[in-house]
Chains A and B, each alone.
Chain A
């Protein structure tokens, strides 16, 4: 497949996965489960500040919509961050396989 089309397809796949995020299990994850069972969950401190806590976009009454929005914002944010850092770090010309 054409390189650009493939990248676009994979990007759309990421966005689709983000839209599916309300289907996620709400059970505690492995670490939370162990922390609850072993009684050290109460060591957890409140975060210093909150932007989009628990992957729920604040101020939106419908939780599924708020979760999807949080997922899309995060997916785009991570994409932009890695793109920006990658542009700064990667070489301008394709690597000549010096590694």
Chain B
């Protein structure tokens, strides 16, 4: 759901740039306080994996495709602050080097996927872990938070499109929401598959951010 330049108007582009800059600035501050150098390689490989996985579009109904966003994955494995920075880096390289997502629209894309996508996943994952303690919360929370983060990010994009006059509210919100409810299933499956891999090989990574919370408690 990378918004190209032209879809959103200048006011929306500026507002989302300001919001994203604030979120990035505060995330840098929190990562600086909470993460050690030891976590940097993990951030790097997660970013590399998400970039590569975002290239793999999978088919959903009606001649449409979708791809992983990765917001839930980074929120679960790195916490929301580092997660926002990792997704921002992926989006920046996509915009500046691959012309995927506009440069004027980069603020909106960061806001939708690196802020709304990451934080909605993080908060829902925490909630489900509290509702279903133990591994159950990990699977249910992993799938639902990944699914919901895609839907919520798409609704945020719809709000920007409607505010920009690209499409009426009553049209763009349900259209974007519905197609991303399908794409979100793929997000949920990939996210839980990676969590399963991590649970089998480096379980400590899954406990890290529930223990230190990486922010909220």
A interface residue numbers (CB < 8 A to B): 1, 3, 6-7, 9-11, 13-15, 17-18, 20-21, 23-31, 33-35, 37-38, 40, 43-45, 47-48, 50-55, 67, 70-71, 73-83, 85-87, 89-95, 97-99
Contact = CB atoms under 8 A, between A and B. Distances in A.
B44 A79 contact: yes
B85 to A, nearest CB: 7
A92 B37 contact: yes
A40 B3 CA distance: 12
B135 to A, nearest CB: 19
Interface string B90-104: 101110111110110
A67 B57 CA distance: 13
B70 to A, nearest CB: 11
Nearest to A42: B6
A72 B141 CA distance: 32
28 contacts: A10-B45, A14-B45, A15-B52, A17-B53, A18-B51, A21-B55, A24-B65, A26-B65, A27-B57, A30-B1, A30-B176, A30-B183, A31-B176, A33-B179, A43-B7, A51-B99, A55-B100, A67-B55, A74-B52, A81-B93, A82-B47, A82-B89, A86-B40, A86-B44, A93-B36, A95-B33, A98-B34, A99-B34
Given A14-B48, A78-B51, A34 B179 contact: yes
A82 to B, nearest CB: 4
Please report whether the interface of chain A is mostly helix, strand, loop or mixed according to DSSP. helix
**Which A-B residue pairs are the 4 nearest by beta carbons?**
A94-B36, A86-B40, A45-B6, A17-B52
Contacts of B62: 33
A47 to B, nearest CB: 4
A78 B141 CA distance: 28
A29 B31 contact: no
Contacts of A1: 201-202
B154 A97 contact: no
Given A20-B56, A55-B98, A40 B167 contact: yes
A40 B55 CA distance: 24
A40 B89 contact: no
Contacts of B30: 99
Interface string B161-178: 100001100011001100
B142 interface: no
A99 B214 contact: yes
A91 B35 contact: yes
A76 B7 contact: no
